[in-house]
Structure 1
Amino acid sequence: MQRFKKPQLAKYFLFLISLWFYAANDIRSLPVLILSILVNFYLGKQILKTETHKKLLCVIGILLNLAVLGVFKYLNFFMENISFVFGQSYTPISLILPLGISFFTFQQISYLIDCKNNNADDYSISEYALFASFFPYVTSGPIAFHSEIIPQLRKEKNFKPSAYNIARGLTAFAFGLFKKVVVADTLGAAVNAGWSNISSLNASSALVVILSYTLQLYFDFAGYSDMASGIAFCFNINLPINFDSPYKARNISDFWKRWHMTMTRFFTRYLYIPLGGSRHGLKRTCLNTLIIFLVSGLWHGAAWTFIFWGFLHGIAMVISRLISAKTDRHLPYPLAWLLTFIYVNICWVFFRAPNIKSAFSLFSRLTSGFGFIVSEISQSFLTTEVKIFRLFIPIDDSLFATLACVVFLVLACLGAIFPQNMQRKIQNFKPTTKLCYLTIFVLFWSIISLSGISTFLYFNF
């Protein structure tokens, strides 16, 4: 019994909690996750043992992971397009999309590659299983590496409750929940109202829909990342930073150093550098960059809209590199920031659109003339909290809804652009009485604002 020490039991307990959390979202996906963990753990062990077949076993493991991902996520997409090319009809196969499959597949591919390169330790099954399934990040990231998580699981001090970590964890969780429930979900209602009836939009309404989605996606994903980090802190686990105020970026390259940082890191380490990175001249560098962003687009979803979104970012990165190779001069920061922010907004339209045609339909509404924001959109901003102010502002209902829309968007923009990122703040957390009261207030506000089950946008990927 001596080998079943408290830390070991804690790992198994946390693993079971992670499986329960995963199954609670969609129990049909659970066998896929468990089999993925067992197969990759076994392959990793074999790769570490052998000296002659490391590369072969690693390639087999990568292909197996990509095959599982391909079947569940991309089979219908590829079959539909192949059938279209050959003039054949195709009836989509009804398949589940296992929750977080893109995330845990990439995590385990990185583990196999590191085993091949002798950059991984010989982990126990409890360590590896918990790393691969840890519930704060298994569904939507960040894409953590084994070398970041498992060493923390081996520190005995991490199995003792830490009041400091619990305090900063609850703080991060509370503000993340606020971003999701109060900000992102309100913006999401406006976005859905706009996309459901594009033909009724005037230019003002189209701009509101575009900006609302840009902000919704940020607050939704950043909110999840804050909540994931917060929960992990409560277990004395420090997750890699995934966001660093991306809408402060002065160019596309800067944007991708700040947005979904762990995904960018994965593609850089395991695809861009193996392709040659920037070591073989400017043309090869530009080609590798474009490949990375096309793959990134496909990783996000099995649709041409995602691929085109990746292509737009790839082209912008290539242009940025070409300009950097010609001159060291830079645009003034305000102008550079504005151009970058506008371009990112344009790209997000394709990310949200159900198809390419719909994206261009929304853009076409920008030429339809300005006017009052359509009521279906402006009414989305009349949350319970906002309606309280209606008692003190004696103006027409439609005008009040428009005012609420404008004020909400301005405040959301300010919140996304100017404050220091929460994931940076929490690394240097200093508990104070004022912060404690603010956290309680934000958490209470978020809880009473919960109006139903609202999934995170990145659960779809």
Structure 2
Amino acid sequence: MSFVSPGFLVFLPAVLALYRLTPWQKRWMVLLPSSYFFYACHSPWLLSLIFLTTLVSYGSALRIERAETRKQKRRAVVLDAVVCLGILFIFKYLDFALGGVFSLLRLFGVESGFTGFHLLLPMGISLYVFQTMSYTFDVYRGTIRAERHLGYYALFVSFFPQLVAGPIERPGDLLPQLKAPNPLEQEDIAQGVRFLVRGYGKKVLISDFLAPFVDTAYGDAASAGGAAMVLATVLFALQIYCDFSGYSDIAVGCARLMGIRLTENFRQPYAAGSIRDFWRRWHISLTRWFTDYLYIPLGGSRRGLFRQCLNILVVFLVSGLWHGANLTFVVWGGLHGVFLTAETLLLGKQQLKSPLGRGLHRAVTLVLVCFAWVFFRASDLSQAVSILQSIFTDFRLSDALTGLGMGRVELILACLLVFLLPLLERLPALSVRENQLRGRYALPLLYFLLIAAIAICRCLVLTEHGATAFIYFQF
């Protein structure tokens, strides 16, 4: 089951009804089995990994709090990190690491017929491992108390709206909300619906529409031509943003209908005026995680400019590897690290005041981000290099649409959908007062039209292409 599967249209209302009918002290008994059921629809036996990471981090936090010496606390947090990261390594990176070892051995003439274990990658494992680690780290630092109630803690780890693709929530933010009464409020319902409409609009109307054209170009990049690959990369930038931020919006909307507020994971990242600003707007919860639990412990900017730049590079290389066991992701992360390091060395913290300067910086930032997306989307490094070569040596404007499998009608639709995006972005900012200013039925009518459009397009997508999975499910 996923947010775009027909079963979810039954699952969510049923959970919300049971949630509201249950006394608030026992609502965790509704949400916890519902969350496990939601995940089990993907891969039932992989629930055991969630159980294991939950029990290990729960026990480690209690040991940390009960420990009498700093050494005992450190042992407990290290044990938790080793177990959780060990699980992540085995299921996500073991074949990648062994492939590197065997490639190195082949340089010395040692051949092996071993092709890897090919373990099934559990969905959301990178997210819930990081979330459990943030919990034990915070208990170790003394910023929160260890949660005694295993049911509430298990729900914190597996809360279904954000289990598979985030946002990565802090225990100090989410745990108290899971234990609160969360009465039914009109504003929560209104905001929840707005986020749901925005999320489904981004995913179904824009991301799923663009996906086939991007897949066509990147599936045959050798013959698509440079112009087609530039256009495909720009479309991929829109696709992945609408796909991932769409998921996050749906997650926020589902939780908001329960009175629970999750982190807004995106704030119009392609309007960023610098790479640093881009990462303040893109996958915000992951950026904060790496800042608090890796960048600052490494020394942050406290140990001089050289160490700061080194820390930035380390963080972005790890971030790239977090996204996937492929050198393309490592290069993608490394490029952003290089961009941000260069920005730090050349500009420091100075702010551009002229409109022309800010506009130029936005344009340069967008070009750099799209350049890095080539490596993120490419199947391997050789394809990424081939695409970049074709952009500079085989730039044929006449074949741009042909290389994407796109006609003029599809191009016009794509342009219209791009213009629709700002309207979708603004939905959560609309307040009840705007209803009074623009007419009592203006916003309900707008919601109805958007939902109807989403429903119609969803039927078309299901009929012609089948359900399109969220991109970040693979991470």
TM over 0.5: yes
1:231 aligns with 2:254: yes
Query: Hey, what does 1:80 align to over in structure 2?
Result: 99
CA distance in 2, matches of 1:80, 1:326: 42
| 2:135 paired with 1:118 | no
Q: TM-score, normalised by structure 1?
A: 0.89
Q: Quote the residue 2:38 is aligned against.
A: 21
SS in 1 for 2:398: coil
Partner-residue secondary structure (3-state), 1:137? helix
- Residue equivalent to 2:378: 353
Give distance in 2, aligned partners of 1:429 and 1:83. 62
Over 6 Å off, 4+ runs: none
SS in 2 for 1:453: coil
What amino acid maps onto 1:320 in structure 2?
E
Question: Within 1, Cα distance between the matches of 2:368 and 2:325?
Answer: 23
Tell me, in whole angstroms, the C-alpha distance in 2 between the residues paired with 1:250 and 1:415: 22
Q: Is 1:458–2:472 an aligned residue pair?
A: yes
Offset, 1:86:
1.2
Is residue 140 of structure 1 aligned with residue 165 of structure 2?
Answer: yes
The one-letter amino acid of 1:234's match is: L
CA contact (8 A) 2:132 2:157 kept: yes
Separation of aligned partners in 2, 1:111 and 1:136: 19
* 1:290-439 pair list within 5 angstroms: 290-325=313-348, 332-366=357-391, 367-368=393-394, 369-375=396-402, 377-379=404-406, 401-405=407-411, 407-414=412-419, 421=425, 425=429, 432=435, 433-439=441-447
Cα deviation for residue 170 of structure 1 reads 1.7
Superposition pairs for residues 274-289 of structure 1, below 5 Å? 274-289=297-312
| Gap regions ≥5 residues in structure 2 | 1-21, 436-440
**Deviation at residue 438 of structure 1 after TM alignment:** 1.6
C-alpha distance after superposition, 1:97-136 (max 9, x if no partner): 1110000000000000111111222321121111110001
Q: CA deviation at 1:162?
A: 2.7
Aligned-residue identity in percent: 35
Q: Residue deviations 1:130-184, cap 9 Å, x none?
A: 111000101000010111111112322x0x3333312221221122111101100
Tell me the alpha carbon deviations over residues 416-436 of structure 1, each in whole angstroms, 9 at most, x when there is no partner: 5x568458627x676733222
Cα deviation for residue 377 of structure 1 reads: 2.4
Q: Distance in 2 between matches of 1:424 and 1:287?
A: 39
Contact 1:244–1:423 under 8 Å retained in 2: no
SS at match of 2:162: coil
CA contact (8 A) 1:103 1:140 kept: yes
Alignment pair present for 1:153 and 2:183:
no
2:118 to 79, 90, 94: 94
The 1:172–1:217 alpha-carbon spacing in structure 2 relative to 1, beyond 3 Å, is: same
Count residues with an aligned counterpart.
431
- Structure 1 equivalent of residue 11 of structure 2: none
Calculate the TM-score normalised by the size of structure 2.
Answer: 0.86
The 1:153/1:143 distance shift into structure 2, 3 A limit, reads same
**Cα distance change on mapping 1:56 and 1:215 into 2, 3 Å:** same
Mean Cα deviation higher: 188-197 or 288-297: 188-197
- Range 83-92 or range 126-135, more displaced: 83-92
Q: State the 1:370 CA deviation.
A: 2.0
The alpha carbon displacement at 1:402 in A equals: 2.4
Verify: 1:40 aligned to 2:40, yes or no.
Answer: no
CA RMSD between the two structures: 2.0
Using the TM superposition, name which of 432-441 and 321-330 deviates more.
321-330
In structure 1, runs of 5+ residues without a counterpart are 380-400
Counterpart contact for 1:244–1:424, Cα < 8 Å: no
